[in-house]
Amino acid sequence: MKKLSNLLLVFSILFVACTNEKKVIVNCLNPAIEYSGRIDTTSTNCARLFWSGSSIKINFEGESIKAKLKDDKGDNYYNVIIDEDSIVLLRPDTIVKYHLLAENLPKGKHTIEIFKRTEWDRGTSSFYGFEIGGNAKILPKSEKQKRKIEFYGNSITAGYAVEDTSGADSPDSTFTNHYLSYAALTARHFDAKHHCICKSGIGITISWFPFEMPDIYDRLNPAEAESKWDFSLYSPNLLVVNLFQNDSWLVNRPKRAEFKTNFGSKPPSQEFLINAYQQFISQLRSHYPDAQIICMLGNMDATQIGSKWPEYIKDAVAGLKDERIFTHFVPYKETAGHPSVSEQEVMAESLIRFIDENIKW
């Protein structure tokens, strides 16, 4: 009888422990999840992430949290931001599985954000949901960010090779980190929600591949021409366009296939370039009639002393006759390769000053 009593005591303890360790499964469509970026949430079982800076955030109570993910290529990297403080690197697998994001968390409110560092050419990531363990509880979303920014850019905006301290400008996706780009830094400074439409090597009139920003700027999934973004889902207060760097190189490469396809045998005229820039900004304005727009350039050699490209942008903006469109140029960084972490910070500081002085939120 004594053994039976002891056995019942053990079972009671185990039952209480199991009850205290309850976990909660949070489906990807749960309204407590805050998505940021052009993310496809039309599926019932997963959300699909494409663009740099896309993020998933949730507030909760619990001792641990996992995310159920799958990546097309296994070449995407994410920053896991725990309680808006510590950052852990995450590389989703090519099979559907749970990834432990944090454990041994103290009691109280916690926040987890999964932030996409890499570009869309590294493949699509699918997010299925969270598993929260240890007296788990889902908490409401944080107060909405009142400011919204949308960036259009190339490798500079993407944060390409920003963490490659060797100076080799490596294309390995481990070194790309949009979280450290001037765009993400600026958005965090203003506590603004931000969308980023960017691709390394892209231009307005010509790119290092057979498509330009006007071809993809309106897509949900940038890899699919028929996948269109619903512009009514996000209304930014401010647009920042940092393009023309790649154009400045490629208009001087007549042997490239993209040059022959886009321009024929002769380089484009100044009038052609100015008109193309105007047309793209006009397209953006048609989607966002109330937004303020900063036409930015920098900080690579398109803004070096003597460059005509800032003047092209000035002339294009002047011709638009829109008092809510501004120009801002960040001086050439005077170093080879893509911007380093410190050079991205200099860009962010420059843009933040300009916004403080000129933009009315």
Query: Residue 12: inside a domain, yes or no?
Result: no
Domain CATH for 264: 3.40.50.1110
* pLDDT at residue 13 tops 70: no
Residue 340: domain span: 147-358
At 224, give phi and psi (nearest 5°): -125, 115
Query: Residue 8: inside a domain, yes or no?
Result: no
Please confirm whether the linkage preceding 299 is cis (ω < 30° from 0).
yes
- Concatenated DSSP letters for 306-350? T-SHHHHHHHHHHHHT-TTEEEEEPPP--SSSS--HHHHHHHHHH
Q: Is 134 found in the same domain as 161?
A: no
Reported as a single tens digit per residue, the pLDDT across 131-150 is: 999 999 999 999 888 999 99
Query: Residue 4: inside a domain, yes or no?
Result: no
Average pLDDT, the chain: 94
pLDDT category at 11 given cuts 50, 70, 90 is: very low
Q: Rounded to an integer, what distance in angstroms lies between the CA atom of residue 215 and that of residue 55?
A: 24
Q: Of 139, 166, 193, which residue sits at a domain end?
A: 139
Q: Is 325 found in the same domain as 176?
A: yes
Q: How many domains, in total, are found in the chain?
A: 2
Q: Which helix (H) or strand (E) holds 255?
A: none
Q: Which helix (H) or strand (E) holds 355?
A: helix 341-358
Domain CATH for 120: 2.60.120.260
Q: Is 27 found in the same domain as 118?
A: yes
Taking residues 344-357, what's their average pLDDT?
A: 98
Q: Is 261 found in the same domain as 319?
A: yes
Reported as a single tens digit per residue, the pLDDT across 248-289 is: 999 999 999 999 999 999 999 999 999 999 999 999 999 999
Q: Is 168 found in the same domain as 97?
A: no
Contact (CB, 8 A) for 23 and 131:
yes
Contact (CB, 8 A) for 247 and 301:
no
Query: Residue 10: inside a domain, yes or no?
Result: no
Query: Residue 304: inside a domain, yes or no?
Result: yes
Q: Is 308 found in the same domain as 160?
A: yes
Query: Residue 60: inside a domain, yes or no?
Result: yes
Secondary structure in 3-state letters for 169-215: CCCCHHHCCHHHCHHHHHHHHCCEEEEEEECCCCCCCCCCCCCCHHH
Query: Residue 15: inside a domain, yes or no?
Result: no
User: Closest Cα to residue 188, out of 241, 151, 219?
Assistant: 151
